Each structure stands twice: as C-alpha cells, then as structure tokens.
Amino acid sequence: MTSAPFTADHPLRIGTRGSPLALVQANEVARRLREAHGLEDAAVEIVPIVTSGDREQVRPLAEIGGKGLFAVELETALHEGEIHLAVHSMKDVETVLHDAFEIVAMLPREDTRDAWVSPAAAHPRDLPQGAVVGTASLRRGAQIRAMRPDIKIVNFRGNVQTRIDKLASGDVQGTLLALAGLKRLGLEDKATCLLDAPEMIAAVGQGAIGIEIRKDAEDVRAAVAVLDDADTSLCVGCERAMLAELDGTCRTPIGGHAVLIPGGRIKLTAVLLAEDGSQAFRFEEDAAVADARALGTRAGRTLKQEAGEDFVANMG
C-alpha cells in the first residue's frame, strides 16, 4: 500500500459489503475522512465487495459458517492490498480477529434498540396465539419466545428493505430489525414499536460502525484513528469482552448492552438464553470506566457459572 498522502491519484480505498445499509455506512466513513483531513472527493473511494454472507440468503448463518461470512472477503481484500480499510457493523464482527487485523475506530453509536415491524400487532405480546415471526437472529428469536412461548420463529434473511417487503406476503406476522439500520436508511417510520431491555437486550456491538485495518498499515491508522468515538469504543469493548468470555457465536442467543452512567461508570446489561427461550440467565452490574473490559469478562464468567456446565457444553 502507498505511504504517500491520499489523493485522487492514490485514493484511500474503503471496502464494504454492497447492501444499501452497508453503503450508507461506508459513505458516512468516507464523508468523515474527507472532512477530517480536507481531502477532495476523489481521494476517498468506496469499493463494494460481495461477501459469502450476502450470496447465501436462505440458510441460517449458523448453518453456513456464522457472522464471519460477512467479513472474510473484506479481510482478504485488506490482506492483498486491494482496500485500505473495511467498514463493518460491529454486531457482525467476529469476537476474535485474525492477528493481522484490528478495529482502530468506531463512529458514534446509533440507537441500539430493536424495532418490531408488523402489520398485525402493535407489540409481539399482542400477536394471536401461534403466530409466526420471521428473524434470522437466534438472540431475537429466543427473547421473543421467552416473552411468548407459543410463537413460531422462522428463518428470515435478506437486507433491511427485503425483509420489510417480505412482510407483505403474509407468511409471517412480524419481524425485528435494528433501529440503527432503519434510521440510517431513512426508514424509521417502518417501526411499529421499539423494544428495549429487559424484554429485548441488543446484540453486542449493535448500532456501532467499526473500521478495520491491517495492523502494519501505519499511514491508514493515522488517517482513521481520528474518527474514533471513545465512548462507543469503550462500551462495545466491554460488550465484546463479555462475548469473548462466553465464546459466543451466532449459534448462541446472547444479548449485551453497555452504557456510560454518571460518576465515571459503565453499566452492562446482558442475557444468555436457551434457543427456545425456556431459560434466560441475566446479568446487570456497573463498574468504573477504567474497568470496562474487566466488567465484560466478569459478566461472561458469571453467566457461564449460572447457566451451568451442561448448558455451556451445548453452546456453539
């Protein structure tokens, strides 16, 4: 990769998935980079890359390799120098990155809540007996089942607009989408209601946009690090420490959401569930911000202890 200043002749290349939401997020990163460094438009280039997760739109992610399928082609492009940085939704980033890469910045976090989208019911609790809800997220499905054990969950994949359009078929009576994505796409009005803790705890990293680079790309690091929102990185780092302790994957229903609270402290709310919602182990504690990652690790350890060896052995 060039070490020269980024110009129209040597642009900073941003890799991203090609979905409408991913492109919005990548363009926001591009806008902030141009603004931060006074770059002309042509000095920052968006490079859409089709990922394995985008090509396979039918089977659940858990069956085809997990959320890392949204990053493998982007990381290959990073490794080969085809792009300088990759933009991710942090909820799609694997808990442990390859040694060659790191997340060097996160943009200010959007609203972390999940949106209930339904033509049939104002809230999941209001659905008729035995109704069908579409979601590809085990976390969302398990929390809906914990709320309403009679509800049937079916796999429901695709980009945000695709899933909204699928509702019109009538095959499902509702779905859940990240409010952050709806806001970024200007579709916030599609939300029937918003779900919050304790009945719906967000995914780790939900609402946060992360920027991944090669560790050896010092010129890129210098350009990108200025975009980092320290509060977002602190909270997401706490959540990801919890996930790492749990060895959490997309095959495990886990929610985790950290927020800063007065007094220089951080509070983490987390849940570990059985896929059918029949068991839910919860954690809520706060700590000094200096101990954010330790709080996440403690949360993961506590949840594993409360769930017990048999439950943990069946995770993943």
Q: For 260-279, how does the pLDDT look when each residue is reduced to its tens digit (9 = 90+)?
A: 999 999 999 999 999 999 99
Place of tokens 């909820």: 91
- Residue 309: pLDDT band with limits 50, 70, 90: confident
Range list of β-strands (E), 137-236: 152-154, 174-178, 193-195, 209-214
> How far is 191 from 178, CA to CA, in rounded Å?
10
- 20: preceding bond cis by omega (within 30 degrees): no
Q: Is 276 a catalytic residue?
A: no
pLDDT tens per residue across span 149-158 = 999 999 987 8
Q: Per-residue pLDDT for 128 more than 90? A: yes
Q: Per-residue pLDDT for 3 more than 60? A: no
Mean pLDDT of the residues in the chain: 91
> How far is 251 from 242, CA to CA, in rounded Å?
16
Q: Are 188 and 71 in contact (CB under 8 A)?
A: no
Of these residues, 41, 92, 114, 231, which one is catalytic? 92
- Residue 168: pLDDT band with limits 50, 70, 90: confident
> How far is 280 from 276, CA to CA, in rounded Å?
10
Q: What is the CA radius of gyration of the chain?
A: 20
Rounded average pLDDT over 124-148 = 96
Q: Per-residue pLDDT for 287 more than 50? A: yes
pLDDT tens per residue across span 169-218 = 888 999 999 999 999 999 999 999 999 999 999 999 999 999 999 999 99
Q: Is the dihedral of CA 90, 92, 94, 99 positive or negative?
A: negative
pLDDT tens per residue across span 213-260 = 999 999 999 999 999 999 999 999 999 999 999 986 557 899 999 999
Q: How far is CA 121 from CA 118, 160, 175, 229, 257, in A?
A: 6, 19, 11, 37, 26
pLDDT at site 158: 83
